[in-house]
C-alpha cells in the first residue's frame, strides 16, 4: 500500500549513506523543486525554497548571536516553529521543544536544565512563563519578547556551513512519560537520520501529504514530521487536535499520511462526519505512544482507507517493534516484530533473558536509534541501561511483554503499574480489556491502590457511553477474570486524565482515589 511517490535520485543517493543531514535534504528539495509546498497552516503556505531561505535566516541569526548549545521552543505548532527548529539544527544548535501547558515553574526548570540560549514562544507561553534569563522571541508577533521578524537575519543572508557531527545532539526531548518528573532525552543526528531512512518504505516522498495533529514537542510528532519534510512531501500543521478539523483537512488537502495516537483514532472514528468524508487519498496511517486495542485496529482497517502501521518504542530509543497491521490481521493483539536491525529481548528482575512465551521487561538496542543519555542525569541514564553477556548496550523500556513463536511482541503493561495483590501479579491491561467489553464502557483504566489485606488492590476508573451501575460493571468484569484478578471497585468518571499525546496519567487517578477516601 505504499504511495506512488518516487524519491528523486539525488535524495536517494544521500539516503544511501549511513549518516547525513536533514537540513541538507531540505536544501536539495529547494534546489530541485523550489515551488513545491513544504508547509501548510490554515491559509498560509511555505514552499521548499522559502523554507530553506527561512532556515538560513534562523541559522545566521543564531550564529550572529553566538549560540552554540541549545535553543528552546514553547509554542503551538506553526510554520515559524518548524523553520526555527530546522534552522537551529542547520546552525549546529540542538533544540529543546517544550510543552507549553506545563506549570510555569516546570517550564522554567526545563529551560534552565537545557541551558537554552534563546527561548522561542507564542503569546500564551510567554504570558505563563514569566521572567527567564534567556531572551524571549515571539514567533507569533506577540509582545512575548523581541518579535521573530525583527530577530531574524536579513532576507538573503546565508548561514555559515556547519559540519554536523552524527553523534552530536539533534534535539533534547523532555519526556515525563507518566511519572511527572521531566528528563531531557538527548537524541543524536544519527538517530534522527535512521528515522528518515526507514520512512521511504511507507510511501513518504514528494507526492505525500502528511497531516500533523500532535504537538511538535512530542517525539511521536517528530518521527512523522521530519521524514515527511526530509523526503520532500507537504506537511499540513494543526495547532491543536480536533476530530472534525482532521476530517475537513484530510479531504481538502487529499492527505495521504498521518500519525495519530489511539485516543485520536477513537474520536475521529466516532465523529458524525466520518462516514461522509472522502478519505480515499490515505495511503498510510501510523500509531504509537499508548496502548492500541486489537478491536480499534480492526475498526481502522475496516473503515479507513490505506494501511496501518503501529510503532512500539520509546523516545529514548533502543529497539522498535513495527506492526504492519494490514498485512498481519491475525496479530492485531501484538505490537509487531522487531524492526530491521533492531534487537529486542525480554528479561526478568535479575536481568536474565527469558524465552518466548515468558513475561518480563522488554529491552531493546539498535545500531543508530538510541539516545545518547539523559541530559545531566548520568545516574538515570545508567539505571535505564542493560547489557547482555557480550556487553552490548540495551535500553530498558519499563514495559512488560512476551514474544510469541513468530517473533511478535504482546505488551501486558508497565512494570511500575503491575498490581501485586496477595502475592499475585495482576496486569491492569487484562482487567481493562474485561471492562472494555461491556457495551456501556467508552474508556477505562485500572490502577492499584494500597490495601491492608492484600497489599494492593485493583480499582477501575470508567467513562460511560451509556447508563450503567458501578456494581454491574464490576460483576461483568469479574465474571471474565480469574479469582486473583478481580476488580475491587469501579469508579465512574467523566473522563480519564491524559497527556497531550494520549497516555493515561495513572498517577492522577491514584491521587484522585486517595482524595476520595479522606
Which regions in the chain score pLDDT beneath 70?
Answer: 1-5, 143-144, 176-181
Long-range contacts of 341-346 (CB under 8 A, 24+ apart): 341/366, 341/367, 342/366, 342/369, 343/319, 343/392, 343/394, 344/319, 344/403, 344/409, 345/388, 345/394, 346/401, 346/402, 346/403
Residues 428-464: pLDDT tens digits? 999 999 999 999 999 999 999 999 888 999 999 999 9
d(Cα 454, Cα 456) in Å, to the nearest integer? 5
Domains and CATH numbers, the chain: 9-240 (3.40.50.12780), 334-368+376-413 (2.30.38.10), 418-516 (3.30.300.30)
| CA–centroid distance for 419 within its chain | 26
Q: Which residue has the cell 521524514?
A: 227
pLDDT for res 5: 61
* Residue 272 grid coordinates: 458524525
DSSP-based three-state secondary structure for 384: coil
The per-residue pLDDT for range 474-483, each reduced to its tens digit, is 999 999 998 8
Q: What is the pLDDT of residue 179?
A: 45
Residue 516: its pLDDT value, please? 87
DSSP 449: E
pLDDT at position 178, please?
41
Per-residue pLDDT of 33-58, as tens digits, reads 999 999 999 999 999 999 999 999 99
Burial level of 234, CB count in 10 A (0-12/13-18/19+)?
buried
Give the pTM.
Answer: 0.89
> Which of 193, 137, 149, 154 has the alpha carbon at shortest distance from 170?
193
CA-wise closest residue to 496 among 507, 505, 485, 488: 505
Amino acid at each position: 500500500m505504499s504511495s506512488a511517490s518516487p524519491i528523486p535520485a539525488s535524495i536517494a543517493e544521500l539516503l544511501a549513506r549511513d549518516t547525513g543531514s536533514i537540513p541538507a535534504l531540505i536544501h536539495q528539495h529547494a534546489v530541485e523543486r523550489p515551488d513545491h509546498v513544504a508547509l501548510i497552516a490554515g491559509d498560509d503556505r511555505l514552499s521548499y525554497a522559502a523554507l530553506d531561505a527561512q532556515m538560513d535566516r534562523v541559522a545566521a541569526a543564531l550564529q550572529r548571536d553566538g549560540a552554540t548549545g541549545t535553543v528552546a521552543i514553547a509554542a503551538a505548532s506553526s510554520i515559524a516553529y518548524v523553520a526555527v527548529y530546522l534552522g537551529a539544527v542547520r546552525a549546529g544548535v540542538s533544540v529543546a521543544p517544550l510543552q507549553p501547558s506545563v506549570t510555569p515553574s516546570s517550564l522554567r526548570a526545563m529551560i534552565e536544565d537545557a541551558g537554552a540560549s534563546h527561548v522561542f514562544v507564542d503569546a500564551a507561553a510567554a504570558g505563563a512563563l514569566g521572567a527567564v534569563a534567556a531572551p524571549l522571541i515571539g514567533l507569533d508577533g506577540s509582545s512575548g519578547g523581541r518579535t521573530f521578524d525583527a530577530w531574524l537575519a536579513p532576507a538573503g543572508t546565508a548561514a555559515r556551513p556547519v559540519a554536523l557531527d552524527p553523534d552530536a545532539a539533534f534535539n533534547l526531548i523532555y519526556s515525563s512519560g507518566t511519572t511527572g518528573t521531566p528528563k531531557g532525552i538527548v537524541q543524536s543526528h544519527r538517530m534522527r537520520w535512521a528515522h528518515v531512512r526507514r520512512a521511504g518504505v511507507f510511501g513518504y516522498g514528494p507526492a505525500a501529504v502528511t497531516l500533523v495533529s500532535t504537538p511538535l514537542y512530542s517525539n511521536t510528532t517528530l518521527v512523522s514530521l521530519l521524514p515527511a519534510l526530509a523526503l520532500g512531501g507537504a506537511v499540513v500543521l494543526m495547532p491543536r487536535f480536533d476530530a472534525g478539523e482532521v476530517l475537513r483537512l484530510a479531504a481538502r488537502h487529499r492527505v495521504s499520511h498521518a500519525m495519530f495516537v489511539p485516543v485520536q483514532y477513537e474520536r475521529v472514528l466516532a465523529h458524525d462526519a466520518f462516514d461522509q468524508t472522502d478519505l480515499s487519498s490515505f495511503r498510510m496511517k501510523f500509531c504509537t505512544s499508548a496502548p492500541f486495542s486489537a478491536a480499534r485496529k480492526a475498526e481502522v482497517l475496516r473503515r479507513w482507507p490505506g494501511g496501518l502501521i503501529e510503532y512500539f518504542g520509546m523516545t529514548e530509543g533502543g529497539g522498535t517493534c513495527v506492526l504492519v497491521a494490514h498485512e498481519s490481521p491475525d496479530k492485531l493483539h501484538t505490537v509487531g516484530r522487531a524492526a530491521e536491525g533492531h534487537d529486542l529481548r525480554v528479561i526478568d528482575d535479575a536481568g536474565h533473558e527469558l524465552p518466548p512465551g515468558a513475561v518480563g521487561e522488554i529491552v531493546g538496542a539498535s545500531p543508530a536509534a538510541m539516545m545518547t543519555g539523559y541530559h545531566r542525569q548520568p545516574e538515570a541514564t545508567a539505571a535505564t541501561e542493560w547489557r547482555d553477556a557480550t556487553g552490548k548496550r540495551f535500553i530498558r523500556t519499563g514495559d512488560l511483554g512476551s514474544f510469541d513463536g513468530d517473533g511478535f511482541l504482546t505488551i501486558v503493561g508497565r512494570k511500575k503499574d503491575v498490581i501485586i495483590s496477595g502475592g499475585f501479579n495482576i496486569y491492569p491491561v487484562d482487567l481493562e480489556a474485561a471492562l472494555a467489553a461491556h457495551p456501556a464502557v467508552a474508556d477505562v483504566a485500572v490502577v492499584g491502590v494500597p490495601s491492608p489485606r492484600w497489599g494492593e488492590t485493583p480499582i477501575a476508573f470508567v467513562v460511560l457511553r451509556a447508563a450503567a451501575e458501578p456494581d454491574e460493571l464490576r460483576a461483568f468484569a469479574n465474571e471474565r477474570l480469574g479469582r486473583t484478578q478481580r476488580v475491587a471497585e469501579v469508579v465512574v468518571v467523566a473522563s480519564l486524565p491524559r497527556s497531550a499525546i494520549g497516555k493515561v496519567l495513572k498517577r492522577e487517578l491514584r491521587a484522585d482515589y486517595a482524595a476520595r477516601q479522606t
